[in-house]
Structure 1
Amino acid sequence: MKKILFLALSLTASLSAFAQESAVTPDAVPYAYGMHLDIAKVVNITPATDVCGPTPVQMTYRDSQGETHILAYSVIGNGCTN
């Protein structure tokens, strides 16, 4: 009886883990000047690399409808010194 219960719990846990992994991640949209951005909450911003010059970064955010978006844009890297 314990083996059947353990098997059922293991199967349920593995199915729920599989269901969570199947979330589709949106493609990154390149930023264009004048774009209307509906940013309600910033989820993540990738760090800039250690170069002296423009480097690409991505910002993951949620809009006012709760949908997740990824915005790609460039920033000056962290490698510049005076």
Structure 2
Amino acid sequence: MKTLILTLATLAFSGTLFAAQTQTAPIIDSPSAFHRLDIAKVESSTNLQGLCGVQMAQLVYQDHMNREHQLNYDVIGDGCPSDN
């Protein structure tokens, strides 16, 4: 009987360990003119300084439910000396 209880307790404990270690993949957002972003905290963003022409930029943020989002979008750089 003690062995059964010990085995069940070990299984329950190991299940909580595996549940705590699983990482959820970030939610990939597609840019839209009418997409409202729920940004609670910005984790990282692309450095736009000195970009020339159309470039891909990325914003990684957390929403108010602590879910991680990744937004990929195009920007037009203003670092080209020949552009007016």
Instruction: State the TM-score, normalizing by the size of structure 1.
Output: 0.59
Q: Is the 8 A contact 2:26 2:67 kept in 1?
A: no
Task: Indicate the structure with greater strand content.
Answer: 2
Deviations 1:19-53 (A, max 9, x none): 4xx52432532211110110011000023486521
Task: Please name the residue that 1:36 is paired with.
Answer: 36
- Which stretches of structure 1, 4 residues or longer, exceed 6 Å deviation after superposition? none
Q: Is the 8 A contact 1:38 1:64 kept in 2?
A: yes
- Larger-Rg structure: 2
**Unmatched segments (≥5 aa) in structure 2:** 1-20
Instruction: State the TM-score, normalizing by the size of structure 2.
Output: 0.58
Counting matched residue pairs gives 62
Identity %: 34
d(CA) in 2 for partners of 1:55 and 1:28? 18
For the aligned residue pairs, the C-alpha RMSD in angstroms reads 2.4
